[in-house]
Structure 1
């Protein structure tokens, strides 16, 4: 290599190093999670522009191959410098440097993804170990902090905070967006929708429950996979809320398209459970959703919303109110299509998970099944039963199911405000930190729920000493972003459990050896809780 070539190369590489350091300073103030494809495009474009410039304006690197080789070296040097600068900053100079946590987690969220794989998709068990090892504040990502005490819940979740990067990686809806002004405006529409329609929607839920009871009747005395039946039930209810028409899974009459969509949703939840740790990858998946299985789901839901819009004399449902209070333009239609998918995917799997847990607990605790049945029998006897009204023992049973196994294992993300966030225990969380309260860990923390590994519904009724801090119970989250579908979920849970145990005894097949430790130890973290498939027997009761 000649002296001119060497000198020019040194200048170029020196400039590349400087550019890498400079880009890191810019990257600190840019939400790169939302622009992965743009960044990739910029890198590729930079390479070809550099090659073009070297080929046409440099006497030293004028050939095609040499200009492309040097351009690749320049881009690689810039990126290597950028990442070296980022990693050094994250490891030793980041505002979160004094919070404890695994060294790998400080450097990259790929550490979390690796733990998902190592734990066989049981990331919550990894978090349990981190909590026990490091305490109430654990750094689980370059700018991510998990918290495990109730003192942080209200400042983080109970107040309006900007949502974390996960919510900005998906299509825009009430739930998946980081725009607080949009959420505030849209949430008013949703709250009014539930308020206006739930009173009339109760009878529809009871109709779906009767269909489920008919399924139990058709398989009476035979083992059935309870996970599948509860998902079919909740999917029918949610599709009715979203589109004004059931998908008829419980009756066994679902179309091939609906069956494929349900399969896609289940696969999608598993994928989200992986990619939620790396939002930019989730963003890429969402951007490319016009191909692959999600394309069918989006096309189908769009068609169903259109049919619901044109439906004459529909029954009261949530989508009807959303349609009436959403502008009929391209943006409004995109939001409605996204929210129809939100209603189904978010509402079906979570309710099905809790119903499955409750049925399994009924089978395991026969005395508990008897006490719940006795309370339900009294309300049926005086004709006062309605799934919209709380019941002491039944609701305690439901609450304990939600406590011991929250249906959503993903910790809600919030970003600390400008100036940082000081908590009641004196801990100051630096600004820009992605904060994740560990709901599962808090629900199963002995400080808040003595004997946390035991299923004890009485802690909600006759044994209040087994709840040390009721604010630790947040299965539907809390604050301005809490789940708007809580009322529907509770109606479904009450309706199904009450009516089922009034007509059936719930038990395990005779050959089943069941333990709570083994069951809950095999739950997978699919964003929602992926319960082990379990067979139960429903036997018609003799009055």
Structure 2
């Protein structure tokens, strides 16, 4: 032992030993003077380039002065000393000195956010988060600087209108920057978000004018069902195609015809590509940022080009008769003093937000509505009786939103569907203010990223909890499927309208149930977490109602 220590000190006295010692000190200083001081997500590419340049320079210097063999050995010793000291310092700090050290959670999550990437290796992150909360409680440390909270008071403190928590510096939203602009969902600056939101609210403020577009899509869907009557079809697929075609009409004034064709379009694959990348990387923001800042390749590049192409084609076809969301964006862009759309790149980025927001969230909710309706004949009959009272009430032979809005049981069914499975399994992260926040007497430190048991029989689908069984709701404030506060979902009214119309028209015209051999297990067990929950396949058989044909 003594001889080993003597040999070690002797080595440190050599030039190589001094170089390694200095490299280790540099590693410690890099952590304590730079990396520990704030989120570095947007500097990821510069950091990577800096290390590539520095390591290349070190390799050149050692090999040119010591020869190839000894130079490579010396390079490995020096660079190894630096990174060993850097990562050891980071690990020790995160385990024993970090403000979140006292919060429970999986051991690997305390050291690296890559643990989340591993947890979502099979797209089941939503289930593993649930398991972690069942094991560790309401507050779980899910990353070195991240905690997940399932607590109503916390949700209000984090997402409410008076919150001091912010999207800024979480790294999650910064990674979505494209051509120097952020889309509506990623804007963290309150004033900028407010101004952009006003334009979106105006675009979605006259939903009654979009009602006819949704009805047109649903008529195509009903025709398709009539062609396939009695044949098992994948209801999950059409739950995706309906809002996608509706988005084309409402957003861009065009028909994508996927419902008519009965198959997914390449555009849907492109929309999902971004979700898959973000979900697969487990919200490891620095890694996402590195990929996003590099030249776009493959499907990611195609998706960007799609958002731009749809805008360019819509501008080329502009007319006074056009009425869609892009019309309002263009009006602001061309205004003498634009509120938010100061250049075409803003519109390009928000075009992608239309593609995503108006498709996937509604698709998830509609698929689950089809699932619960097809599964239970008694529920199906009661819901049919409810919507029957609204058919033709204002518009002969049709349903209208004004009439459907008055149906208590239809709304209860939609609310219960969204309670059981909100489309966004995890709410967007927020950064706590410097002074931190207090949740149920528990102080959450400042500068921490947050991801936010209030029902009886919570895992059971019971629409009556919203009507005749209010005793099953312990706290109604816990129902926030589209979040709330200043950053709530701008398209929530559109989503509810599409769900009401789709359920009403489908159930009025067709009785449907699980196809022979279908038990619904694949629908639930094959669900994937890709930021939005993507349910599995659901085969159903649709039979035309005689009264609807009359």
Call closer, same or farther: CA 1:502–1:96 in 2, change over 3 Å: same
Q: Is structure 2 residue 34 aligned with structure 1 residue 24?
A: no
Return the offset for 1:6: 5.7
Residue 253 of structure 1, CA deviation: 8.7
1:41 to 49, 64, 68: 49
1:188 aligns with 2:190: no
Contact 1:523 1:531 in 2 (8 A): yes
1:145-188 CA-partner distances (Å, limit 9, x unpaired): 11111111110011253213211111321112444443232122
Range with bigger deviation, 265-274 or 398-407: 265-274
Counterpart Cα distance in 2 of 1:30 and 1:74: 27
1:432 to 423, 429, 447: 447
Structure 1 stretch 22-31 or stretch 322-331: which is displaced more?
322-331
Query: What are the within-5 Å matches in structure 2 for residues 139-538 of structure 1?
Result: 139-158=141-160, 159=163, 161-163=165-167, 164-171=170-177, 172-195=182-205, 197-252=206-261, 259-288=265-294, 290-310=296-316, 311-326=318-333, 332-383=343-394, 385-387=399-401, 390=405, 391-423=407-439, 425-437=440-452, 447-514=453-520, 519-538=523-542
Cα offset for 1:276? Answer: 3.7
Q: How many angstroms apart in 2 are the aligned matches of 1:300 and 1:522?
A: 29
How many residues are aligned here? Answer: 520
Q: In structure 2, what is the Cα distance between the partners aligned to 1:45 and 1:190? A: 44
Question: Is the Cα contact below 8 Å between 1:448 and 1:468 reproduced in 2?
Answer: yes
1:522 shift after superposition: 4.0
Gaps of at least 5 residues in structure 1 are: 438-446
1:446-497 CA distance string (max 9 Å, x none): x311111111111111111111111111110111111100011111000110
**C-alpha RMSD of matched pairs (Å):** 2.5
Secondary structure (helix, strand or coil) at the match of 2:105 reads coil
Equivalent position to 1:121, from 104, 120, 123: 123
Distance 1:351 1:33 in 2: 31
- Give unmatched runs, 5+ long, in structure 2: 1-6
Give per-residue Cα distances to partners, 1:403-439, cap 9 Å, x unaligned: 111111133201100111122x1111101110111xx
Looking at structure 2, the residues matched to 289 and 356 of structure 1 have their Cα atoms a distance apart, in angstroms, of: 35
User: Could you tell me how far apart the structure 2 residues matched to 1:412 and 1:101 are?
Assistant: 20
Q: TM-score, normalised by structure 2?
A: 0.89
Match of 1:539 among 529, 535, 543: 543
Aligned to 2:93: 89
Shift in CA distance, 514/68, structure 1 to aligned 2, threshold 3 Å: closer
CA offsets 1:80-133 (integer angstroms, 9 cap, x no match): 21111000000111000111111111001122222222xx32112211221111
Partner of 1:380: helix, strand, or coil? coil
